[in-house]
């Protein structure tokens, strides 16, 4: 009976590449016995959770014996008001990861195809392979989506194209003109998935949100999250804008009560915490400039970012750099998982965290010369 899983499980699961998250602080404490640790690996907001969200969550603790609103009515209503879109066009999930899985379950079958950039967010491939779909990877061009090559890769079997904008792990965006040209030519039979998890951090005026195409009734969906700038990563809540028809299809296969009560309460309050969002943007912008300055002084190449992380070429084996920084209590993300063995991805932190990272990096690189 030991081969039961091999014989009976869906064969697709054996080809999956498990998602590798940023190393948790608790794990580093257990392994190395270090107490003073900063985590710059998972693109979390260094300022923490929205204060308004914390207050609302605290007030809702006494309601935890009740099931949450299965339809996320109040949250959808507020999102609709803010983004000027119909409530019937909004889906809410247990993180945007759940919405990615729902998209795969609703639209992909064995033999279908998806297209995405490489490197980009690993969950696109993961969810598609579970459903037996073929995954076509298009290498980035100058660390940015090559939309022209993505267009040429579309076939009658292509069901979805994923555009991570800004892209993870490079932090680059697609130019508005290139995006418009792409959308003018992509087949209406292809669902375009715009993953905009980091869009609140974008400063470049040439950024164009996929929301434009959703409102034009195109076959598209825009994914966003409360995990990043709003600081609700631990509660897992994401959302999407799409056509009412696509939203309805996703809701037909959504588990009941998929978004917990505290997540809904926190998200609803966080939407209106403008001060927290603005301060988070300010800290991120200043942090980027400081890190750029330090990298330039150190002679290190990096990808200018429109997000809250920077893809940096350390010029060394990334695993060696990662482990050495870890011993200093600094957690970053290695680039080898993205196909860049000398790169690391570092989240922009507070000024104190950024300075500690730079001091640690200088020490590590000097030791590895």
Q: What letter does residue 254 receive in the DSSP assignment?
A: P
What confidence tens digit (pLDDT) does each residue in 243-277 have? 999 999 999 999 999 999 999 999 999 999 999 99
Q: Output the pLDDT for position 1.
A: 59
87 and 121 both lie in a single domain: yes
Residue found under tokens 């966003």:
224
Average pLDDT in the chain:
96
Range of the domain at 346: 4-48+275-367
Indicate if 142 and 223 belong to the same structural domain. Answer: yes
Instruction: Give the end of a domain, one of 237, 272, 307.
Output: 272
Exposed / middle / buried, residue 322 (Cβ in 10 Å: 0-12, 13-18, 19+)? buried
Q: What is the pLDDT of residues 194-216, one digit of tens each?
A: 999 999 999 999 999 999 999 99
Q: Could you please report the per-residue DSSP string of 35-72? A: -S-EE-SS---TT-S-HHHHHHHHHHGGGTTSPP-TT-
Are 134 and 114 spatial neighbours (Cβ–Cβ below 8 Å)?
yes
Check whether 17 has a pLDDT greater than 80.
Answer: no
Q: What pLDDT was estimated at residue 24?
A: 87
**DSSP state letters, 75-103:** HHHHHHHHHT--GGGEEEESSHHHHHHHH
Of the three residues 229, 253, 272, the one that is the final residue of a domain is 272
Write the pLDDT tens digit of every residue in 23-72.
Answer: 888 888 888 889 899 999 999 999 999 999 999 999 999 999 999 999 99
The answer on 56 and 37 residing in a single domain is: no
Question: Which ranges of the chain would DSSP assign to H, the alpha helix?
Answer: 4-8, 25-32, 51-60, 73-83, 96-107, 123-130, 147-153, 176-185, 211-215, 244-252, 261-271, 274-298, 318-327, 351-367
**pLDDT given for residue 326 in this prediction:** 96
Note the residue count of the chain. Answer: 369
**CATH number of the domain bearing residue 267:** 3.40.640.10
Residue 22's pLDDT is what?
79
Name the region of 288 (left: φ>0; alpha: ψ -120 to 50; beta: rest).
Answer: alpha
Structure tokens at 39: 């985590």
Report the number of distinct structural domains present in the chain: 2
Please, how many CA atoms are within 13 Å of residue 272, restricted to the half-sphere of its CB?
A: 10
**pTM of the predicted model as reported, rounded to 2 decimal places:** 0.95
Average pLDDT over residues 143-159: 98
Asked whether residue 31 falls in the same domain as residue 110, the answer is: no
User: Per the structure block, which two tokens stand in for 71?
Assistant: 């339809």
Q: 278: pLDDT confidence band, cut at 50, 70 and 90?
A: very high
Q: What is the pLDDT of residue 369?
A: 77
Q: How confident is the model at residue 21 (pLDDT cuts 50, 70, 90)?
A: confident
Q: Give yes or no: residues 82 and 178 share one domain.
A: yes
């Amino acid at each position: 009976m030991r081969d039961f899983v091999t014989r009976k499980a869906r064969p697709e699961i054996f080809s999956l590449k498990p998602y590798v998250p940023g190393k948790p602080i608790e794990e580093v404490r257990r392994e190395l016995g270090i107490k003073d640790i900063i985590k710059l690996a998972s693109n979390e907001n260094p300022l923490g959770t929205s204060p308004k969200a914390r207050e609302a969550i605290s007030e809702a603790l006494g309601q935890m014996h009740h099931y949450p609103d299965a339809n996320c009515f109040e949250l959808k209503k507020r999102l609709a008001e803010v983004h000027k879109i119909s409530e019937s066009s909004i889906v809410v999930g247990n993180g945007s990861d759940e919405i990615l899985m729902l998209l795969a379950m609703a639209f992909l079958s064995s033999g279908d195809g998806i297209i995405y950039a490489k490197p980009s967010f690993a969950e696109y491939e993961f969810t598609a392979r579970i459903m037996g779909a073929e995954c076509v990877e298009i290498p980035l061009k100058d660390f940015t989506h090559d939309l022209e090559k993505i267009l040429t890769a579309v076939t009658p079997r292509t069901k979805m194209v994923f555009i991570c904008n800004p892209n993870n792990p490079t932090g680059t965006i697609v130019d508005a003109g290139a995006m418009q040209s792409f959308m003018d030519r992509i087949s209406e039979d292809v669902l375009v998935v715009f993953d905009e998890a980091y869009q609140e951090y974008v400063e470049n005026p040439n950024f164009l949100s996929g929301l434009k195409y959703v409102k034009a009734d195109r076959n598209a969906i825009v994914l966003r999250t409360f995990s990043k700038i709003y600081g609700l990563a631990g509660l897992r809540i994401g959302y999407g804008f799409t056509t009412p028809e696509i939203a309805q299809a996703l809701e037909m296969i959504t588990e009941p009560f998929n978004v917990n009560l505290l997540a809904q309460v926190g998200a609803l309050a966080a939407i209106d915490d403008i001060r927290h969002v603005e301060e988070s943007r300010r800290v991120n912008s200043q942090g980027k400039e400081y890190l750029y300055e330090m990298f330039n002084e150190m002679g290190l190449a990096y990808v200018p970012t429109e997000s809250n992380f920077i893809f940096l070429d350390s010029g060394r084996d990334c695993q060696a750099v990662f482990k050495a920084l870890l011993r200093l209590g600094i957690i970053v993300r290695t680039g080898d998982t993205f196909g860049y063995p000398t790169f690391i991805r570092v989240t922009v932190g507070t000024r104190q965290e950024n300075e500690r990272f730079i001091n640690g990096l200088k020490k590590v690189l000097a030791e590895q010369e």
